[in-house]
Amino acid sequence: MKKGSFIGLFLCFTVVVVSLLSACTNAEEMKYKQYVIDGQALYKTHCANCHQLDGKGLAGLYPPIEGSDFLAKNKNLIICAMRNGLQDTITVNGKQYHQPMPANTQLQALDVAEITTYIYSTWGGEKAITDVKAVEKILKTCGDK
Ligand code: HEC
């Protein structure tokens, strides 16, 4: 093979690899964005009544999600709570809450994953997807088969 055509082939190969890689990143990025958009819509329907659209909650009754110090430390528990509810006394930003959060068995694992991605991206400082596979695993620890 001539040196010139070898270099040509090599360049061609490099271009293909680079464009494949960026197509992958774009697909991941698109999936993340879609999760956030769908998660926001689901949050409005299923969560905002109590926690409010702005995530600030309702004084004394419903804890805030925005700025919550409970969020980062209790991700698995929160994922389970969306499905199964939560009847506990919890402390969020130094305040105690003891109203029950109702179960929502309508929510599929994908719904929970999208809502989780939305709330953790918006108020939890995470800029990453919480994938449906991860959520399925966590839901299995609290009752899912
Ligand atoms: C009927 C009102 C109500 C609905 C609807 C509701 N929650 Fe809650 N949520 C609560 C209450 C009350 C608590 C505290 C529960 C406790 O003290 O055991 C709570 C706790 C939480 C917490 C942990 C504390 C914090 O603020 O960091 C998160 C996160 C949360 N809810 C997210 C959600 C999400 C997401 C949805 C929708 C899928 C949802 N909640 C639906 C009332 C509600």
Q: Cα–Cα distance between 54 and 79 in angstroms, integer?
A: 20
CA of 51 to the centre of ligand 1 (A): 7
CA of 86 to the centre of ligand 1 (A): 8
User: Domains in the chain and their CATH numbers?
Assistant: 34-140 (1.10.760.10)
SS3 content of the chain, % helix, strand, coil (to 5): 60, 5, 35
Residue 98 has pLDDT above 90, yes or no: yes
CA of 127 to the centre of ligand 1 (A): 21
| Residue range 2-37, pLDDT digits in tens | 778 888 889 888 888 888 888 888 999 999 999 999
Ligand 1, residue 99: give the atom nearest the CA: 12
| Residue range 60-91, pLDDT digits in tens | 899 999 999 999 999 999 999 999 999 999 99
Query: pTM (2 decimals)?
Result: 0.91
Ligand 1, residue 87: give the atom nearest the CA: 18
Helix (H, G, I), strand (E, B) or coil at 62: strand
> Whole-number mean pLDDT of the chain?
94
